[in-house]
Amino acid sequence: MTRSGVSSRIGVGAASSTRRKSGSRSWGITPLLLLSRRRPGAQSSSPAARRAARTARFPGPAPGHGRPTPSAATGPVPASPDVQEGTVPTRRALLAGGAGPAVAVLLAGCTVRSPGRSGDGRGAEPARLSARPGAPAVATAPAPGTRALDLGAEPDPLLHVPPAGAAGRPLPLVVSLHGAGGSPQAGLELLRGPADELGVVVLAPGSRGPTWDAVGGTYGPDVARLDRALRQVFTELPVDPGRIGIAGFSDGASYALGLGLANGRLFSRVMAFSPGYVPPAPRSGTPEVFLTHGEDDTVLPVDRTSRRIVPALRDEGYDVTYREFAGPHTLPPELARAAVEWFARP
């Protein structure tokens, strides 16, 4: 494997045979929510570790998730300082606070059972989106630019129409998801630069809590909010039904994989930038997948996440394009553009 090229050889070693025997498939790091589920009477190694475990209701935001990120046209998603004290702790803060042994257990290769393509029906509805594109109610061409969608609940999703939208032709649409502790603006900036250049509409919703619902537990209100946002977009804009995708960074990447695979008849393509795992849900359709990860990622280490996720998806029959690069927990601008080009192709 080269440090800057496409990874086509991903070794999973003995773990592969273990997963085949057990019937489970390793999908990467499970949420740090498990840190708070200690056995009754169990004690952490230090007061700092116990405090960190008590506050870890959701996976902590990776560095840079707590503020808007720059456009992919001007620079990569940064690895900046942790979010403010008193909010959800970062993975790095958990390690520094003495929770290292507990985190190390999670990073050692937790597994979740891979749901079938149709599943048994349980849990299907919470992850399923019902909105579908059709003829927009308004015949006039949409004005280019960014505006908030007022759905009656904060944070308001952001809708960005590229200059090409003024022509009134059906355009590709991508849902772009922020990481933990982020905002709709962060999700928008993830892909806005190349989306403008390539004529792609971007819908950037926001999670109701510190991270997306299924990453912290189960699918629920964030799915319903996204469904409402999509329904409004489909009534206002001419959208190409064959080019609707979902993308995300870090926790947003994990959520994009979970929702994308569960709604493969809506999303034809899924883009995941440095994901941690795949939240389980019964699947539909067979969307194509574009996945990136940095070799030097210390937030979600690649050998315990994407190098396991990619072979598992390919084993399930998904068409996966994987780009591994020399770098940390970030999205280089050239890979952001490559992802949008891959998505927007006919």
Half-sphere exposure of 119 (CA within 13 A, CB side): 18
The yes-or-no verdict on residue 223 having pLDDT over 80 is yes
Note down the domain range covering 236: 1-346
Instruction: Report how many domains make up the chain.
Output: 1
CB contact set of 67 (below 8 Å; sequence gap of 6+): 80, 182, 183, 186
247/254 Cα distance (integer angstroms): 9
Q: Quick one: pLDDT at residue 120?
A: 35
The yes-or-no verdict on residue 49 having pLDDT over 80 is no
What is the rounded average pLDDT for all residues in the chain? 74
The yes-or-no verdict on residue 105 having pLDDT over 90 is no
Higher model confidence: residue 276 or residue 28? 276
60/32 Cα distance (integer angstroms): 8
Average pLDDT over residues 305-320: 99
pLDDT grade, residue 288 (50/70/90)?
very high
Return the CATH number at 19: 3.40.50.1820
Q: Quick one: pLDDT at residue 1?
A: 46
The yes-or-no verdict on residue 58 having pLDDT over 90 is no
237/136 Cα distance (integer angstroms): 6
Q: Please answer whether residues 259 and 229 qualify as being in contact, where contact means their C-beta atoms are separated by less than 8 angstroms.
A: no
User: In the chain, what are the helix, strand and coil shares in percent, each to the nearest 5?
Assistant: 35, 15, 50
| Tokens representing residue 194 in the block | 């190349």
Q: pLDDT tens digit string along 121-171?
A: 334 469 999 999 987 766 677 889 999 999 888 899 999 999 987 677 899
Taking CA 164 as the corner, what is the angle to CA 257 and CA 148, rounded to the nearest 5 degrees?
60
94/41 Cα distance (integer angstroms): 21
Q: Please answer whether residues 332 and 296 qualify as being in contact, where contact means their C-beta atoms are separated by less than 8 angstroms.
A: no
Average pLDDT over residues 226-239: 95
Q: Give how far Cα 158 sits from Cα of 31, 155, 192, Å.
A: 27, 9, 11
Q: Give how far Cα 89 sits from Cα of 54, 86, 276, 279, Å.
A: 10, 8, 17, 21
How many CB atoms within 10 Å of residue 104?
10
Average pLDDT over residues 286-311: 99
Q: What string of DSSP letters covers 169-209?
A: --EEEEEEE--TT--HHHHHHHHHHHHHHHT-EEEE---SS
The yes-or-no verdict on residue 200 having pLDDT over 80 is yes
CB contact set of 42 (below 8 Å; sequence gap of 6+): none
Helix (H, G, I), strand (E, B) or coil at 214: helix
